[in-house]
């Protein structure tokens, strides 16, 4: 084996040093700059992505704040509209109730007037019926025909006592 021959050690060491230097120079001038460029591009892309992510996060926070503000405004506006609608409904209900009360008072007054007229008419009719009944009863019971003025006076006196 020639590698283990001690007479070839110095040439092997020279070639080892030459190969090492060539490989070192190739790595230093070609491979390492490419790797460094790739690493730098990756780092810059990651930094850009992180910057863009933080900008998007801030934008999302602003959008969320704007959304919450518009939601709160819409909620307040809806509450105000509900309150206004409730007040309007209460006013309409109050007006209808007042109108109904007025109508009921008028109808009650008209009904009381009709009842009073009916009562007066009934009292007149009762007086006439009572006069006829009393005249028929006295004629039948005692056989005396009572005169109209005396009969009217007795019925008026009896009806005046009942009222």
Q: What are phi and psi of 144, to 5 degrees?
A: -110, 135
Q: 142, 136 in Cβ contact below 8 A?
A: no
Q: How confident is the model at residue 161 (pLDDT cuts 50, 70, 90)?
A: low
- The reply to whether the predicted model has a pTM over 0.75 is no
Beta strands in 61-105 (DSSP E): none
Please give the Cα distance from 70 to 72 (Å, whole number): 5
pLDDT of residue 134: 78
**Using the 8-state DSSP alphabet, how is residue 3 labeled?**
T
Q: What does the chain come to in residues?
A: 163
Q: What is the pLDDT of residues 7-48, one digit of tens each?
A: 888 998 999 999 999 999 999 999 999 999 999 999 999 999
Please give the Cα distance from 141 to 129 (Å, whole number): 18
């Amino acid at each position: 084996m020639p590698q283990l021959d001690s007479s070839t050690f110095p040439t092997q060491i020279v070639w080892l040093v030459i190969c090492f230097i060539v490989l070192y120079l190739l790595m230093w001038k070609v491979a390492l700059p490419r790797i460094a460029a790739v690493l730098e591009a990756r780092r810059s892309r990651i930094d850009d992505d992180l910057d863009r992510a933080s900008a998007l996060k801030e934008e999302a926070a602003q959008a969320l704040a704007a959304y919450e503000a518009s939601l709160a405004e819409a909620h307040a506006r809806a509450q105000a509209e509900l309150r206004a609608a409730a007040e309007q409904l209460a006013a309409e209900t109050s007006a209808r109730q007042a109108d109904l009360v007025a109508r009921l008072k008028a109808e009650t007054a008209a009904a009381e007037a009709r009842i009073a007229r009916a009562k007066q008419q009934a009292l007149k009719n009762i007086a006439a019926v009572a006069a006829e009944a009393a005249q028929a009863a006295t004629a039948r019971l005692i056989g005396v025909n009572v005169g109209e003025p005396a009969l009217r006076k007795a019925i008026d006196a009896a009806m005046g006592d009942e009222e």
